[in-house]
Amino acid sequence: MPGVREVTATDDVLAHTAMQVVADGPGAGSRVLAVAPAGGVHARVLLDRGLDLGAAWFGGEPVAWLSAMGERPPGSGDAGEGWHDGWAGGLLTTCGLQNVGLPSEGHGRHGRFSELAATDLSVDRQVDESGAGRIVVAGTLHEPVGLGRGIRVRRRLTFPIGAGVVELEDVATNLSAERLQAPLLYHLNIGHPFLGPDSVLLHRDGAAFTAAPGSVPMGSPSVEPDTVTEHQPIVGADHIATVALRSSRLGMQTTVAWDARTLPRLFHWQRRAPGSYVCAIEPANCSVQGRAFDRDDGRDPVLAPGETRRTWLRNTIERI
């Protein structure tokens, strides 16, 4: 068979990216990178919202849950419960780095990470002669503490060609001269048409996936209150924890794997409200009760001056 460069004129065919500035609506002026690897996960990378992921598709099917707020520029949250006022949903929302969960000590719900605009951006498209390759998006997020340096995060997102995978690596460094609380939670949000009444959180134990103890299927939309459940992830000998959700409607499974040494806790959010039907898989290093609670509980994650922490996760979407 001929090599890729004999039959294509540009790598855009297999590894398409487009830098965009939203022209209208609530997100007007926001920078977005549209990523579309052939046969892979297509997603909107929100450059002004923590390099998080907005709308996403696999095999032409939408996977992520989107809120009615729509994409918005930074500055929509506040020091209380106003985080929802500017949250578009999306496949990935990062919570932290000074607070996760309930507002605490002047920090609003889920902190400010998703309010940070990325700098030092790079997009690397790697395509070999066989057509294999990947798109790698990288950037720097800096969350100051007070008027000081605070914490710097170097984020890398990898989108392989020919596989429904998104891989994330964050390297966080405390640039300050003091110990800093650094709670972190990754909010992976799944919605219709992937999510359905029989969708239930699955744990992988060895090669098998089984319903997580205490997990409850989504059921039909209802006026029941939201539920947030903490689960004990099953961790393999390689220190990797893996959970999944299946879609009988689409014949797909979304699997989230992560390094449990730096993300030892797992939360599962389910919201069944009509018009807002969503569940989230949430690996974390902290509780969802806020920074003061974690400190009083003796489980507050901290970074010493100059200390670096690497967190990693992989989201795989595939047909079953």
Q: Residue 196 pLDDT > 90, yes or no?
A: yes
User: In total, how many domains does the chain have?
Assistant: 1
- Cα 265 from Cα 284, distance rounded (Å): 5
Select the more confidently predicted residue: 32 or 69: 32
Query: pLDDT tens, 135-153?
Result: 999 999 999 998 889 999 9
Q: How far apart are CA 277 and CA 218, in angstroms?
A: 9
294, containing H or E segment: helix 291-296
**How far apart, in whole angstroms, are the C-alpha atoms of residue 74 and residue 113?**
10
Distance between CA atoms of residues 108 and 189, nearest Å = 20
- Angle among Cα 121, 124, 128 to the nearest 5 degrees reads 175
CATH number at residue 294: 2.70.98.10
Chain centroid to CA 218: how far?
21
Q: What is the pTM of this model?
A: 0.96
- Residue 308 three-state SS: strand
| pLDDT at residue 79 is higher than 80 | no
- Band (pLDDT 50/70/90 cuts) for residue 89 is very high
Q: What is the predicted pLDDT for the residue at 53?
A: 98
Task: Look up residue 80 and give its two tokens.
Answer: 């209380």
> How many CB atoms within 10 Å of residue 309?
18
In this predicted structure, the answer to whether residue 1 has a pLDDT above a threshold of 70 is no
Whether the CB-CB separation of 262 and 317 falls below 8 Å is answered with no
Q: Are 54 and 43 in contact (CB under 8 A)?
A: yes
The residue range of the domain holding 94 is 4-319
Closest by CA to 118, choosing from 156, 66, 158, 70, is 156
- Judged against a pLDDT cut of 70, whether residue 76 lies above it is answered with no
pLDDT of residue 80: 78
Q: Tell me, what's the pLDDT at 311? A: 98
Indicate whether 78 pLDDT > 80. no
Higher pLDDT, 106 or 81: 106
Cβ within 8 Å of residue 308, ≥6 positions away:
171, 172, 173, 174
Instruction: Retrieve residue 245's tokens.
Output: 């959700």
| pLDDT 10s digits, 124-136 | 999 989 989 999 9
| DSSP, residue by residue, 83-144 | GGGG--B-SEEEEESS--BS-BTTB-TTBSGGGPPPEEEEEEEEE-TTS-EEEEEEEEEEEE
Mean pLDDT of 270-278: 95
User: Could you tell me if 104 and 111 are in contact, meaning their C-beta atoms sit under 8 angstroms apart?
Assistant: no
Mean pLDDT of the chain: 94
The pLDDT of residue 3 is 87
Please tell me the predicted confidence (pLDDT) of residue 206.
87
Q: For residue 15, name the pLDDT band (cuts at 50, 70, 90).
A: very high
